[in-house]
Amino acid sequence: MLKIDILSVLPELLEGPFAHSIIKRAQEKGLLQVNVHSLRKWAINKHGQIDDYQYGGGAGMVIVCETLANAIDELQAPAPYDEIIFMTPDGVRFNQSAANQLSMKGNILIICGHYKGIDERIRKQYVTQEISIGDYVLSGGELAAAVVVDAVGRLIPGVLNDETSALTDSFQDNLLAPPVYTRPSEFRGDKVPDILLQGDPKKVEAWRYEQSVQRTKARRPDLLDE
């Protein structure tokens, strides 16, 4: 089982994403455990303070060292984390390869950034990976953390009813997925390619590979360079 702890300023933002669909089923099967923790549990005073002004001045508050250090130390006391991840716009771009690697871990902590971020000393002393889901800034790391959990959780063996489905997703082999069709065989004059109706698995596989290559060349040629 993969256990994922998440530290958040606003844990309420994560109530919905993990209560439905595949991630819900993964937890019900005992294959995934997601625990969302409020950072205010480790506030530095009775007023619930978890942030402070920046040294040197400037707009925006920073989550303080003491709060995060105490939270991490307490949460990993039973067992050290395999990875401590900080969701941040200046992190490494998250991709399918990273999701594959994380799905094979056993114990992960995700820190959701907020305000102007977290004290740099926490990043140096605790964080093992810094992840971004794109070149843009969100109000906090909660939505980004939900993206990572969803991408990772569906890869755990036994989570999907058809485990081969994840293996044919876009990016698994640096190619985009080919086009897919279902009934009816003709819709408003647009027909399903004949090869998909002929029942020859080898020809279908070759067609799908060629379509993946063509689609990747047209839409994401950078993937072919990689």
Closest CA to 113 of 88, 138, 83, 92: 88
Of 49, 50, 118, the residue nearest 87 (C-alpha)? 118
Q: What is the three-class DSSP state of 82?
A: coil
Domain-wise residue ranges, the chain:
2-153, 168-225
- Distance CA(198)–CA(120), nearest Å, equals 59
Rg (CA), the chain: 21
Contact 127, 166 (CB under 8 A): no
Architecture of domain 168-225: Orthogonal Bundle (1.10)
The per-residue pLDDT for range 144-201, each reduced to its tens digit, is: 999 999 999 999 999 987 655 665 666 778 899 899 999 999 999 999 999 999 999 9
pLDDT 10s digits, 8-38: 999 999 999 999 999 999 999 999 999 999 9
The yes or no reply on domain 2-153 and CATH 3.40.640.10 is no
The dihedral region occupied by 171, where left means phi > 0, alpha psi between -120 and 50, and beta the remainder, is: left
pTM reported for the whole predicted model: 0.90
